[in-house]
Amino acid sequence: MAEITITKENFDDEVRNYKGVVLLDLWASWCGPCMMLSPVISEIAEEMDGKVKVGKINVDEQPELAAAFRCESIPMLAVVKDGAVHNMAVGYREKDNIIKMLNL
């Protein structure tokens, strides 16, 4: 499954009320490290399909969500399980490191 674009309109359905694990990638098109991380996030979305939902939040288009996550630097990853944030990381991460974040 491909990544889902998360907006303030679909956040409750896709993240807050979702029973399971969601990996959120907070990013922007002008951010070099975000662009480096994007293919890694896509790989995780494909490989963990059915186990983890992967969403992308464009911080320029969704400033309210960025503020809700207290996002001051990107890329930022957030792991949400059953509506609660369990893990966060800022900056580029290797795939193995991200997968370890998902093992709650």
Q: Residues with catalytic annotation?
A: 31, 34
- Give the angle subtended at the CA of 13 by the CAs of 73 and 11, to the nearest 5°: 20
9 CA to centre of own chain: 16
Distance, CA of 60 to CA of 56 (rounded, Å)? 12
Please report which helix (H) or strand (E) contains residue 97, including its range: helix 95-102
Q: Parallel, antiparallel, or unpaired for β 76-81 and 21-27?
A: antiparallel
